[in-house]
Amino acid sequence: MSRLLGTLRGSQPVARFQRSCGLFPANKEGGCGSGSEPSAEGARDGGACNGAGALRSPAAPGRGVPNGVRSGRGPKGCTQKYIVKNYFYYYLFKFSAALGEEIFYITFLPFTYWNIGHSVSRRMIIIWSIVMYIGQVSKDILKWPRPLSPPVVKLEIRTDAEYGMPSTHAMAATAISFSFFIATMNHYKYPFELGLAAAFVFSTLVCLSRLYTGMHTVLDVIGGALIAAALLVLLYPAWDTIDHLLLTSPFSPLISIVVPLVLCYNYPKLDYYSPTRGDTTTILGAGAGATVGFWLNNQLAAASYAGEDFHLRLPLLTGKTVVVMLARFLVGILVILLTRRLMKSVVLGALGYHYQFPVADLAARRRPEVEVPYKFITYSSVGFSATVVVPLLHELLGLM
């Protein structure tokens, strides 16, 4: 068993999967390609482009990219060259990887609230927040490295600064797809097999994308999916109780704000900067703002926001229904993007004035006393806007 776990934790299975999908390093070593020179640290490591905890130094200027060869920025200022021989897998897994990023969360979760069902969305957002917090904290406690390069080709930059175990992409994909399946199954009538297959395909594509992009080992992905599945099983019996308390308890807004803030300020400390704390704060902030919005909508007792509003079969998708759903989505996304842009500017400006630093100072923005309130206030405003402001605007525009 230990030998099997060691193999699954290694880099070679990831490299073999990449090769089988037509992704190859452009040079024999698979590390820093011909377009750049490795840094001093890179030279000691044999030109490796590896992950969390690595020291970083500026990249040497490149000399251009050969025809047919792509490049991706790696850690330590290293430019890694790679060759794509199968563009179907390349675009499929690049798209699948985006399903675990902010662009997916900020579109799909609000879309669900506006067009599918409020109770479905509430359950998904709560599960997503819990699962992602546990996953992010686990990474910085376990401190397992990501796959080594060489032999692995790494296609991403930002997430390579984080540790590997568990894969939060795998956790989020499993949690979102199966919580959506379970929640809609309880409210709508549709073929069980179809929903199960869709959830399985969605989560599998995201999991495989983490191997293709070279960001996780097989064990990271399996561990992430299993942890998310276990949390779903443990939380499912309490879904209705949690939902009821969030909607009706007079302490719900206070708890929804204070608990996530305490967790963010007490996030595990590392000996170098990693985006995990900022990402976790973003997720918990969005969940907190949305939860306050859920509670407020229920207190207003508006018929369209009652807690038990979706129990029937799926509505027939006529042309008019599709147009209305699309209009809700476009109006909502516009409001969300404007809210995010405005709050980022206002909050960062206020923090810069208070702590006396220019807003362009990246090092200052990474300090906990700046990063946590900046991310939390911005994204809690986004969550509140998505659940309160946007539905009111929908009603005003006759899109309900």
Provide, rounded to the nearest whole percent, the portion of the chain with pLDDT above 90: 31
Q: What angle do CA 256, 261, 263 make, to 5 degrees?
A: 105
What confidence tier does 358 reach under pLDDT thresholds 50, 70, 90? confident
Active site residue 187: no
Q: Checking DSSP bridges between strand 23-25 and strand 69-73, what pairing results, if any?
A: unpaired
The string of pLDDT tens digits covering residues 24-33 is 887 654 334 3
The string of pLDDT tens digits covering residues 91-135 is 999 899 888 888 888 889 999 888 888 888 888 999 999 999 999
Q: What is the mean pLDDT of the chain?
A: 80
What confidence tier does 61 reach under pLDDT thresholds 50, 70, 90? very low
- List, as own/partner pairs, every contact residues 297-302 make where C-beta atoms lie below 8 angstroms and the sequence separation is at least 24, other chains included: 297/118, 297/387, 297/388, 297/391, 298/247, 298/248
Q: Spot the catalytic one: 118, 169, 244, 354.
A: 169
**Quick one: CA dihedral 149, 155, 159, 164, positive or negative?**
negative
Tokens at 121, concatenated: 């969305």
SS (H, E, C) 216-275: CCHHHHHHHHHHHHHHHHHHHHHHHHHHHHHHHCCCHHHHHHHHHHHHHHCCCCCCCCCC
The string of pLDDT tens digits covering residues 345-354 is 999 889 888 8
Q: Which of 110, 111, 41, 149 is nearest to 287 (CA)?
A: 110
Tokens at 345, concatenated: 């500017």
Cα 257 to Cα 289, 353, 380, 396: the distances in Å are 8, 24, 9, 29
Active site residue 118: no
Cα dihedral 295→297→298→302 (10° resolution): 180
Question: What is the pLDDT, as a whole number, of residue 312?
Answer: 45
Question: What is the pLDDT, as a whole number, of residue 324?
Answer: 85
What confidence tier does 51 reach under pLDDT thresholds 50, 70, 90? low
pTM given for the model = 0.79
Q: Spot the catalytic one: 216, 244, 311, 354.
A: 216
**Residue 38: pLDDT above 50?**
no
Q: Which of 271, 265, 206, 225 is nearest to 52 (CA)?
A: 271
Question: What is the pLDDT, as a whole number, of residue 45?
Answer: 36
Question: What is the pLDDT, as a whole number, of residue 229?
Answer: 93
**Domain extents in the chain:** 23-85, 90-396
